[in-house]
Amino acid sequence: GQQVMQIPQYQHVQEGEDFTTYCNSSTTLSNIQWYKQRPGGHPVFLIQLVKSGEVKKQKRLTFQFGEAKKNSSLHITATQTTDVGTYFCAGLVISSGSARQLTFGSGTQLTVLP
């Protein structure tokens, strides 16, 4: 079945350093979504990318969707302690059997040291 791999699993950074997490899919994706989950909380939607090569920014966060629509990345510039949490990508593949299913990556747990 469809798989979405996400690396790294854990990342510790000093406050002010940059952070990047990567997602790779075994199949071409229709779109990709990114979610953030704070410790003890629930996932919260951040953004959706649809177009090949698309780049979107939210303040210090930059999201990219690969040209082949099989990979994506989230980059945080100058991390802050408020960025702590687990970041998940979720890919959508359109097919008769999974038209309504997002497949989530395993997540990257970000720790920011003050």
Partner 1 sequence: DAGITQSPRHKVTETGTPVTLRCHQTENHRYMYWYRQDPGHGLRLIHYSYGVKDTDKGEVSDGYSVSRSKTEDFLLTLESATSSQTSVYFCAISESWTPLGNEQFFGPGTRLTVL
Q: Which residues bind partner 1 (CB under 8 A)?
A: 1, 6, 9, 30-31, 33, 41-45, 48, 50, 88, 90, 92, 94, 99-107
Q: DSSP class of residue 29?
A: -
C-beta of 50: minimal distance to partner 1 in Å? Answer: 6
Nearer to partner 1, 9 or 80 (CB): 9
Q: What's the one-letter identity of residue 98?
A: S
Nearer to partner 1, 17 or 56 (CB): 56
Nearer to partner 1, 46 or 84 (CB): 46
Q: Rounded to an integer, what distance in angstroms lies between the CA atom of residue 8 and that of residue 70? A: 17
C-beta of 100: minimal distance to partner 1 in Å? Answer: 5
C-beta of 81: minimal distance to partner 1 in Å? Answer: 22
Residue 90's nearest CA partner among 34, 44, 49, 45 is 34
Residue 111's nearest CA partner among 86, 78, 88 is 86
C-beta of 52: minimal distance to partner 1 in Å? Answer: 13
Contact in structure between 27 and 20 (CB atoms under 8 Å) = no
Distances from the Cα of 102 to the Cαs of 8, 29, 69, 97, in angstroms?
20, 10, 15, 12
Nearer to partner 1, 43 or 66 (CB): 43
